[in-house]
A and B are shown apart, each in its own frame.
Chain A
Amino acid sequence: MSRRVALEASHAAAEAAKMADVDVISAYPITPQTHIPERLAEMVADGELSAAYIPVESEHSAMSACLGAAAVGARTFTATAGQGLELMHEVVYIASSMRYPVVMTVCNRALSAPLSVWGDHSDAMAVRDTGWIQVFCQNNQEAFDLTLWAFRVGEDPNVLLPVMVHLDGFTLSHVTEPVILPEQSEVDRFLPRFQYPFALNPDKPMTHGAFGPPEIYSETKLAQEVAFRNSKEVVLQGWKEFGDIFGRYYHPVEEYKTENAETLLLTMGSFTETAKIVIDAKRDKGEAIGLISLRLWRPFPFEEFRRTVKGAKILIVFDRCISFGMGGPVFSEVRSALYDEEPRPKVVGIIGGLGGRDMSEEDFEYVIDRGKEIAEKGPEKMLETVGIRG
């Protein structure tokens, strides 16, 4: 019998790792992720979960130990945030290029300097290019569901790629919401045992991590990209299977009241739920406005995204990160993804919600109004922002 419990997103993610019967957890604490390694440590200490818990001495070692564990065929999990994700940056690239299916929760946190333990998407945006399958959660149920799904997809023999599950620091990680936890038997039906086909073993000695001279490096990278793009098939398959068993279906692009929408707002992560309230109010007043959210961030869901925005005149992209010298990263990518489309909406970008700055309904109303203005009159400022004084 599945049950409905009150859980922080952190604990929901930990619960998913537990139900997935993870083998090795190698994690270093960092605000606002700490509740995840703490909860997992508790579970291991009490025998609720049979796993090796490696209390590593830094995030670089956390991911490195994950690679070692994955290389011998263990199901591995870790979690981090902000500076921790940056410290393990080079190892993150290794996980994907060596095709180790590690699952990692990132409690999105602003990057220093100045030091900020609070939420925004700068840590996520800094790892866009790393070759990990990446999804964004909007609420605690998704934190549980997508973590479970991540193991299924990453470990699929046709994928063998690491998966990052982004959930907003503090606004999700430390907020309690009702979460439906399935029965273990359902989870076992959904998630097969991890059988890594190239596990290091003295019976069949293999070499992992040979270096790539110029004569071969390019071919390895093309091969990696092809495999990465092809993983989308299993991403969708995984969501279908998830829905069939647990009753909740996820899609690469979430659409909210987009029918006949002339204006679309694009948000990522938990602030999407606040924005939806504003969309509801505007729809009630008869405005043809909707919201879309990229649940699947990588590999970028070009097809679904282009289909979703067809017919809209204006697309307002809300970014929680400044890509210095360029602007909003999601805005830039989304604009680029639509460049060849004919017709295509006018795409404008507004940045806010940095370093723990909250977004209220009024703030989203401003984003929508200002977005429409920019679409009509063109950009006036170097950078369009919301909620930044001056």
Chain B
Amino acid sequence: METKAVRFGEKLVTTKEFLAEGHNFCTGCGEALAIRLAMKALGENVIMAMATGCDEVCTTPLPYTSWRVPWMHTLFENAASEISGVEAGLKILAKKGRMPDRDIKCVAMAGDGGTSDIGIQALSGAFERGHDFIYICLDNEAYMNTGIQRSSATPYGASTTTAPAGKFSIGQITRKKNMVAIAAAHDIPYVATACPSYRFDLMKKVRKGAELKGPAYVHILSPCPTGWRYSSNLTIEIGQLAVQTGIFPLYEIEGGRYRLNADPPKLKPVEEYLKLQGRYRHLTGEEIESIQEMVNEDYGKLKEKVAAFPM
């Protein structure tokens, strides 16, 4: 008899795989895992609009598809405007009685490039118009699919091919664009960060974002063995360290109020996270120190917001 669900304490997780096995994601890909988990939370009553990127290229080489849900892709920067059309189309067709109102969840997915760089305009527009959709950003911190070029989500000090570490450069000289704050600034009902290493937290947030009416934004850190240059078996560990060092805190902003999902009494030193990844290999002790200060600063600011606007 085929197992329908796997039990984790009180939780039941479906064994259905909406992202079919045999996809083309790299060995040990954190994004693949993030999508797999998110799809389990979303279920099959969805329509997905995906931007060009690892997620799209690894899953849909003509004439094949890894998707077991209705799915569309057009371009790199328009997942949010595409899903706006889907959402408006579904609503009006139901209103005009041309199709039953099945409350199909509208889901947009894009990488960090398709979200915080080329896709930010479409996303901002979709947020402002208040469409009922969930936007999931799969953040592997660079344009990984085209060969590890920098994005505005690449963290300070990371080496990428278009902002490489060199004699006169530390690599990325800017700090990671705070897409979560940008999303929250649109006053949308729900904004959250997630990491596949924290599987139930991720699934809960995706389900919550999908179920809430209006725009929701879930920013998922997606560790990338290929681009971050680490051994493929460390994906879960690296995601955990990202959270435990305060580099990628897990939190939610609901109606402008903050909840920090994990607040360790003492954050691990960032070095534990950085030293596992080849993209940071060039950093000197001093540079790691300054990164530690930046992380302390950012984490401190987040704690202030949590204190000022608690849920």
Q: State in angstroms the CA–CA spacing of A90 and B67 once bound together.
A: 25
Is the CB–CB distance between A202 and B122 below 8 Å? no
Is the CB–CB distance between B69 and A205 below 8 Å? yes
Residue of A50, A57, A74, A76 near B124 (CB, 8 A) is A57
Is the CB–CB distance between A52 and B91 below 8 Å? yes
**Inside 8 A of B70's CB, which chain A residues have their CB?**
200-202, 204-206
Query: Assuming A210-B62, A210-B63, is B121 touching A61 (CB within 8 A)?
Result: yes
* Chain B, residue nearest A68 (CB): B85
**Inside 8 A of A206's CB, which chain B residues have their CB?**
70-71
Q: State in angstroms the CA–CA spacing of A62 and B88 once bound together.
A: 12
Residue of A60, A71, A208 near B78 (CB, 8 A) is A60
**Inside 8 A of B85's CB, which chain A residues have their CB?**
24, 26, 54, 64-71, 74, 76
A214 CB to closest chain B CB (Å) equals 11
Number of interface residues of B (CB under 8 A): 50
Is the CB–CB distance between B62 and A220 below 8 Å? yes
Residue of A54, A57, A67, A73 near B74 (CB, 8 A) is A67
Does B101 sit at the interface, judged by CB under 8 A? no
* Chain B, residue nearest A51 (CB): B92
Does B267 sit at the interface, judged by CB under 8 A? no
* Chain A, residue nearest B45 (CB): A202
Does B262 sit at the interface, judged by CB under 8 A? no
**Inside 8 A of B61's CB, which chain A residues have their CB?**
210-211, 213
Does B72 sit at the interface, judged by CB under 8 A? yes
**Inside 8 A of A51's CB, which chain B residues have their CB?**
92
Is the CB–CB distance between B92 and A74 below 8 Å? yes
Interface residues of A in 178-194 (CB under 8 A from B): 193
Is the CB–CB distance between A61 and B92 below 8 Å? no
Does A98 sit at the interface, judged by CB under 8 A? yes
**Inside 8 A of A160's CB, which chain B residues have their CB?**
none
Is the CB–CB distance between B96 and A65 below 8 Å? no
Does B194 sit at the interface, judged by CB under 8 A? no
Number of interface residues of A (CB under 8 A): 46
**Inside 8 A of B74's CB, which chain A residues have their CB?**
64, 67, 91, 94, 98, 209
Does B60 sit at the interface, judged by CB under 8 A? yes
Is the CB–CB distance between A202 and B72 below 8 Å? no
B272 CB to closest chain A CB (Å) equals 38
A40 CB to closest chain B CB (Å) equals 14
Interface residues of A in 209-243 (CB under 8 A from B): 209-213, 216, 220
Query: Assuming A50-B96, A202-B69, is B104 touching A55 (CB within 8 A)?
Result: no
Is the CB–CB distance between A68 and B62 below 8 Å? no
Does B47 sit at the interface, judged by CB under 8 A? yes
Does B95 sit at the interface, judged by CB under 8 A? yes
Interface residues of A in 74-105 (CB under 8 A from B): 74, 76, 90-91, 94, 98
Q: State in angstroms the CA–CA spacing of A51 and B227 once bound together.
A: 45
Is the CB–CB distance between A68 and B104 below 8 Å? no
Q: State in angstroms the CA–CA spacing of A23 and B98 once bound together.
A: 10
Is the CB–CB distance between B62 and A202 below 8 Å? no
Residue of B46, B65, B83, B88 near A210 (CB, 8 A) is B65
* Chain B, residue nearest A195 (CB): B98
Is the CB–CB distance between B84 and A73 below 8 Å? no
Is the CB–CB distance between A68 and B68 below 8 Å? no
Does A207 sit at the interface, judged by CB under 8 A? yes
**Inside 8 A of A220's CB, which chain B residues have their CB?**
62
* Chain B, residue nearest A61 (CB): B81
Does A386 sit at the interface, judged by CB under 8 A? no
* Chain B, residue nearest A100 (CB): B74
Does B73 sit at the interface, judged by CB under 8 A? yes
A220 CB to closest chain B CB (Å) equals 7
Is the CB–CB distance between B57 and A52 below 8 Å? no
Does B8 sit at the interface, judged by CB under 8 A? no
B107 CB to closest chain A CB (Å) equals 12
Q: State in angstroms the CA–CA spacing of A91 and B85 once bound together.
A: 14
**Inside 8 A of A71's CB, which chain B residues have their CB?**
72, 85-86, 89
Q: State in angstroms the CA–CA spacing of A8 and B178 once bound together.
A: 47
**Inside 8 A of B75's CB, which chain A residues have their CB?**
64, 90-91, 94
A-B contact pairs, 17 of them (CB 8 A): A24-B88, A50-B92, A51-B92, A55-B129, A56-B129, A58-B122, A64-B81, A67-B74, A68-B86, A70-B85, A73-B89, A202-B44, A202-B70, A202-B102, A207-B72, A209-B73, A220-B62
Q: A50-B95, A52-B88, A207-B71 are in contact. List 15 more A-B contacts (CB 8 A).
A: A24-B92, A26-B84, A26-B85, A60-B78, A60-B121, A64-B75, A64-B82, A65-B82, A69-B85, A71-B72, A73-B98, A202-B70, A210-B61, A210-B62, A211-B57
Enumerate the 9 nearest inter-chain pairs by beta-carbon distance, A residue then B residue, closest first.
Answer: A68-B85, A57-B125, A65-B85, A61-B81, A209-B73, A69-B89, A74-B89, A210-B60, A207-B65
